[in-house]
Chains A and B, each alone.
Chain A
Amino acid sequence: MATLEQTRTRQDHIAEKIKKVQELYADAPEVGRTALKNGLEALKRELAAAPVRQSAGRIGARRGKVSELTAIVPLAPGGGKRIRGLLDVLEGNFKGADLVGTLHDMRFVLLDNDTKLLFATTYDGEWDAYIDDFVTKIPNSMDILFCNCEGWPGIHSPKVKDYIAKTQYTADAWYVASPNLTVAEAWRLEKVGKAVDELLDKIG
């Protein structure tokens, strides 16, 4: 149980944070200032929760067992056209990603007249745990996709990790609903759920 003193310092801490937000919003548009006043109670509850900020290792954010990677990469001449064409013929299929087994999602957004690529993914575990496995298991898929990025050293280059890290931006904030649910666990639970239903169907 928290002691009286701990409770008090915690409340001081929240009050301090509230003050900081109020100062930040002092010159906000009218609608924002009103909203802050009306939403103050909800904000206080939010601020009372324990902080969850963590790092995915070298770069990127982490919550529990999942991490995020957000990269903005300048594309090589002609690279934008090739990526757009490639994503087009794939028609949203990424069977290879199923195989990887750590990727929750992948998002490709071509920016600025197809001169830059925004790539964002949520994955399980540590930043560079499986990069060496990509090198020996799926080198072609990696090079086909990323050769379109300016300065891509090739998946076999020892510089590849540095290259990726350089294009990455750690998310300033990131919300994850189920921080302990890895892809493997989600697939396992889907299977278990189905098996339970089948069993109940038989009984019922």
Chain B
Amino acid sequence: MLSVKESSDANVSTQAPMLDLHEIQATVLRLRPAPYFGSHVLLRIDEAQAGRELLRRLTPHVDSAANWWRPASAWLSLAISYAGLEAIGVQQNSLQSFPEAFRVGMAARSRQLRDEGVNDPENWEPLFGKGEIHIGLNAFSDSKEKWQRIVEMARGQYQSLSGIGVVNVQDFGAQPDDLNSLGYKDGIDQPPIEGSGVDPLPGQGRPIKAGEFILGYPGEAGVPLPMPQPDILGRNGTYVGYRKYQSRVGAFNRFLRANGSTEEERELLAAKLVGRWRSGAPLTLAPDVDNPALGADPKRNNDFNYANDTHGRQVPFGAHIRRMNPRDTQLTRLTDVNIHRVIRRGTTYGKPYDPNAFSQEDDEVPRGAIFLFISAKAMATMEFLQQEWIDEGNFIGIGSERDPIIGRQEEGAVFTIPKEPVRRRVHGIETFNVLRGGEYFFMPSISALKWVASLSG
């Protein structure tokens, strides 16, 4: 809605978009800007009337995905949790049409999500898991000034309503070189979406049916996913999983130090854990030494598959990106890799990554990532990922090894690096990112926001 720049890196399609981009919220499709600044604002609705008034006030400021491939300078999104839909006065039959996992909320699904031990909702920050988070506002911007302006505008709208309470405001971004909390470039790969108006970048794979990500369109199985009712509420909406991680930077650095004796060895180990060098350069294209120019080039930094790495000697089978998107890796289980993708909006918060942080106190310095996972079946996909691809290794033939970046590690955890003549097994993997809270939201279309705002009762 604010000014739009002319130039763009995106691969704008020659075919007109098939999706109702004017209806879909911008955050669903628009990529994180670089540099990026933003805030997550979590609100509570104490009076239904006030909730609807807030929607009336904010909907005109919520950006649609029209021309989403053009860089924009600031945009706002609005999503509502199940408790929020209840609090705002959505009728019972509508409420019942939402999927079970969404209705009970993220904390209640901890068993299915494997959110146990340190990640158990009992250990979350007290604001989460209590049914008090009703509305999630999210602002993204490419400049500090415009970010502050849009957040101020939103604050002006909710602060003057007595029936709205502020649960939490978390600023994010403004990181040196946009690196994440463990010092990596992130936000590189996204699933390509059919009919979105943009063709896949080299290496992104074939476009995936829009219904996997946005309600109301056919998914990969050829049929649309079940949609909340009535139609106006569900269509062009989607779900957002919100997960807040605390990065234990001290533990991560101690692990690298204990297992690499030179700077080069430590950086190579850090690259093996993810599958990319910290610069973003993929190990498949830069197996032995980093290539920062490659990492920075969006036309080349994702242009790979694993056809020439069937033994995992470049990217270990257990590496974060090989798990999260196995591409053409031969898996042990019948799997359709195109139906377990999510749109990621990673937002790094807190102090920047510090390579010299080694102490246990450093583990607790507020710093980490809030991940937004967007998909028409975000709940089912998160549960699948947690069960099969994150806290497991059998799917890719490595027993019970877990994701080295986001897995919850048990005593004696290892990370295997395939190598000739014998593999290297690295011990001492810890839980480097601890879950501190989370919730599921529904991100309605622009028309649905207006519809909810106009409910009576």
Contact = CB atoms under 8 A, between A and B. Distances in A.
Interface of A: 57, 65, 99-102, 124-126, 129-130, 132-139, 156, 158, 180, 182-185, 187-188
Given A132-B339, A136-B339, A156-B222, A184 B394 contact: yes
B336 interface: yes
Given A125-B387, A125-B388, A156-B221, A133 B399 contact: no
A138 B399 contact: no
Given A126-B387, A129-B384, A188-B399, A137 B394 contact: no
Nearest to A155: B221
A136 B394 contact: no
Interface string B392-422: 1011010110000000000000000000000
A130 B334 contact: yes
A130 B339 contact: no
Given A129-B387, A133-B336, 10 more contacts: A101-B333, A102-B334, A125-B387, A130-B333, A130-B335, A132-B339, A134-B334, A135-B221, A136-B220, A138-B334
A156 B332 contact: no
A100 B334 contact: yes
Contacts of B397: 184, 188
Contacts of A184: 332-333, 394-395, 397
Contacts of B395: 184
B contact patch SS:
loop
Nearest to A128: B380
A191 B380 CA distance: 33
Chain B residues touching A, range? 20 to 34
Interface string B312-348: 0000000000000000000111111011000000000
Contacts of B400: 180
In order of increasing CB-CB distance, the 8 nearest A-B pairs are A101-B333, A184-B332, A184-B394, A100-B334, A136-B336, A158-B226, A135-B221, A182-B394
Contacts of A132: 221, 336, 339, 380
Contacts of A136: 220-221, 336, 338-339
Q: Which residue of B334, B383, B399 has the most chain A CB atoms within 10 A of its CB atom? A: B334
A187 B384 contact: no
B207 to A, nearest CB: 15
B426 interface: no
Contacts of B339: 132-133, 136
A133 B333 CA distance: 10
Contacts of B388: 125, 129
7 contacts: A65-B394, A99-B334, A100-B334, A101-B333, A133-B339, A135-B221, A136-B338
Contacts of A156: 221-223
A99 B336 CA distance: 12
B226 A101 contact: no
A166 to B, nearest CB: 15
Given A133-B339, A136-B221, A188-B399, A126 B112 contact: yes
Nearest to A132: B339
Contacts of A183: 332
Given A129-B384, A184-B333, A57 B221 contact: no
Contacts of A65: 394
Contacts of B380: 132
